[in-house]
């Protein structure tokens, strides 16, 4: 059976399914998530099965803004975080980031409360939490009245979905319900940070909140942890992720750095090239997929996954120009492209 796509007027069906321990794909401002009750191990097991996701990869628990108390206190109320295990400097950073960025595309990794199932955290002592900004996600969370675990609603390792139609392509035969909230506004996943005892943050995944903003807000450095393939601090750091079905080849330099002959030798008429912005001289209309028509990082992020899906339909080879910008959301975009073209095991 194919999943039923619900509009905002039909949320009661989605809320009932979630409360019964079933899965529902829901819109968030970053990407669509495959939601299930975060504190129910049976619902969590269904998420891993539907995505074919390995259980070593922990999930993010989503909470609603609480009517009373600070953003952070909502996490204690929801039974997710053990605040007694949080050092004062870490708490100050978490509070500053949550107050400024929530609801929004930031995930905080904090000490886990005892009632959180091992499947949610992959057995780690920490739990990842975020408060989404999409109005339908918030309404669903409020009406369900419990935190929802929601990984991106794609099969494991594949391109994240930013429309209900993408979710239908990815999981239509594996789940029963999809809530259509329109195209996601941010387009790349949340930034994931682990708050350290000294108040600094380890950046586990670049995403919708730029690193520089987190540094300004916390007053502490945000550092990229050393990643050894055998001791990944966060499984979102796997080399191959967000991948099209066809191989994506990363170019070592922008196309304009090549002369016309070299370009013509390399590209066949049926090949397609993801171009960050600008003219990309020498490409035909059919060969060029333009990431950011207005040159902005926000448009590039918003369009990224849809562009990769479009390219995957091409009959020729898939190429992407390297991202040369380093500010705003560009590092998150470069990270996704690097993994989309990463070696597959
Ligand atoms: O924007 C988002 O974050 C989306 C929407 C649906 O909210 N969700 C999402 O979930 O991207 P997912 O499962 O695709 O990515 C969760 C990331 C993974 O990289 C995972 O390894 C990391 O969060 N993570 C979760 N719990 C963690 C923990 N306790 N410690 C370190 N990393 C953790
Ligand atoms: Mg994902």
Task: Decide: 205 in ligand 1 pocket, CB within 6 A.
Answer: yes
**Which one, of 106, 81, 100, 96, lies nearest residue 28 by Cα?**
106
Taking the CA of 59 as reference, the closest ligand is 1
Query: Is the pLDDT confidence value at 189 over 90?
Result: yes
Higher pLDDT, 1 or 113: 113
Enumerate the β-bridge partners of residue 197. none
Entry pTM: 0.94
Q: Which residue has the tokens 């209309």?
A: 285
Give the DSSP letter string of 192-243: EEEEPTTS-EEEEE--SS-HHHHHHHHSS-EEPPP-BTTB-SSGGG-SS-SB
189 lines ligand 1 (CB under 6 A): yes
Distance in Å, CA 266 to ligand 1 centroid: 38
Distance 68 CA to ligand 1 centre (A): 27
Interhelix angle 297-311/164-171, nearest 10 degrees: 40
Query: 11-19 vs 135-144: helix axis angle to the nearest 10?
Result: 50
For the Cβ of 192 lying below 6 angstroms from any atom of ligand 1, the answer is yes
**235 pLDDT band (50/70/90 cuts)?**
low
Position 230 scores a pLDDT of: 45
Ligand 1 atom showing the smallest separation from residue 107 Cα: 3
Q: Is 134 in the pocket of ligand 1 (CB under 6 A)?
A: no
Residue of the CA atom closest to atom 6 of ligand 1: 33
Is the C-beta atom of 235 inside 6 A of ligand 1? yes
Per-residue pLDDT band at 234 (split at 50, 70, 90): low
Q: Which atom of ligand 1 is nearest to the CA of 132?
A: 7
Report pLDDT for 140: 98
Cα of 25 vs centre of ligand 2, distance in Å, is 13
Residue 59 has pLDDT above 70, yes or no: yes
Looking at residue 236, its pLDDT comes to 53
Ligand 1 lined by 210 (C-beta under 6 Å) = no
Instruction: Name the band, by pLDDT with cuts 50, 70 and 90, for residue 72.
Output: confident
Predicted local distance difference test score (pLDDT) of residue 108:
98
Reported as a single tens digit per residue, the pLDDT across 12-27 is: 999 999 999 999 999 9
Using the predicted structure, report yes or no on whether residue 282 has a pLDDT greater than 80: no
Both tokens assigned to 66: 């609480």
pLDDT averaged over the chain?
92
Looking at ligand 1, which residue's alpha carbon is closest to its atom 10?
151
Q: Is the Cβ atom of 162 under 6 angstroms away from ligand 1?
A: no
pLDDT for the residue 106 = 98
Separation in Å, CA 344 to CA 135, 242, 243, 245:
37, 11, 9, 11
For residue 190 and ligand 1, the question of a CB distance below 6 A is answered with yes
Q: Is the pLDDT at 129 greater than 90, yes or no?
A: yes
Whether the CB of 124 sits within 6 Å of ligand 1: yes
Look up residue 293 and give its two tokens: 């028509």
- Which residue's alpha carbon is nearest to atom 18 within ligand 1? 236
């Amino acid at each position: 059976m194919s999943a039923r796509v619900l509009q905002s007027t039909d949320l009661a069906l989605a809320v009932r399914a979630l409360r019964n321990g079933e899965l529902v794909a829901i819109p968030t401002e970053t990407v669509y998530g495959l939601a299930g009750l975060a504190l129910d191990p049976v619902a969590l097991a269904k998420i891993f099965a539907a995505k074919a996701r390995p259980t070593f990869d922990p999930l993010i628990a989503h909470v609603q803004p609480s009517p009373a108390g600070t953003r952070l206190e909502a996490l204690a109320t929801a039974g997710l975080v053990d605040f007694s295990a949080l050092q004062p400097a870490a708490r100050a950073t978490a509070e500053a980031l949550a107050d400024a960025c929530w609801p929004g595309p930031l995930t905080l990794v904090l000490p886990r409360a005892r009632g959180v199932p091992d499947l949610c955290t992959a057995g780690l002592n920490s739990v990842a939490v975020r408060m989404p900004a999409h109005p339908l996600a918030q309404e669903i969370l409020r009406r369900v009245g419990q935190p929802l675990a929601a990984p991106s609603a794609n099969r494991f390792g594949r391109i994240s979905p930013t429309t209900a139609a993408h979710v239908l392509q990815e999981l239509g035969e594996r789940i029963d319900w999809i809530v259509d909230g329109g195209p996601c506004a941010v387009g790349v996943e949340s930034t994931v940070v682990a708050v350290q005892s000294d108040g600094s943050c380890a950046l586990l995944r670049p995403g919708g909140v730029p690193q520089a903003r987190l540094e300004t807000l916390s007053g502490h450095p945000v550092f990229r942890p050393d990643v050894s393939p055998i001791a990944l601090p966060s499984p979102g750091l796997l080399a191959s992720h967000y991948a099209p079905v066809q191989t994506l080849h990363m170019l070592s330099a922008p196309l304009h750095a090549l002369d016309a002959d070299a370009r013509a030798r390399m590209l066949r008429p049926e090949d397609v090239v993801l171009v960050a912005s600008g003219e990309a001289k020498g490409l035909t209309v059919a060969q060029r997929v333009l990431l950011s028509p207005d040159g902005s990082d926000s448009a590039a992020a918003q369009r990224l996954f849809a562009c990769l899906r479009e390219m995957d339909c091409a009959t020729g080879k898939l190429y992407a120009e390297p991202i040369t910008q380093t500010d705003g959301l560009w590092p998150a975009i470069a990270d996704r492209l690097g993994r989309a073209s990463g070696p597959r095991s």
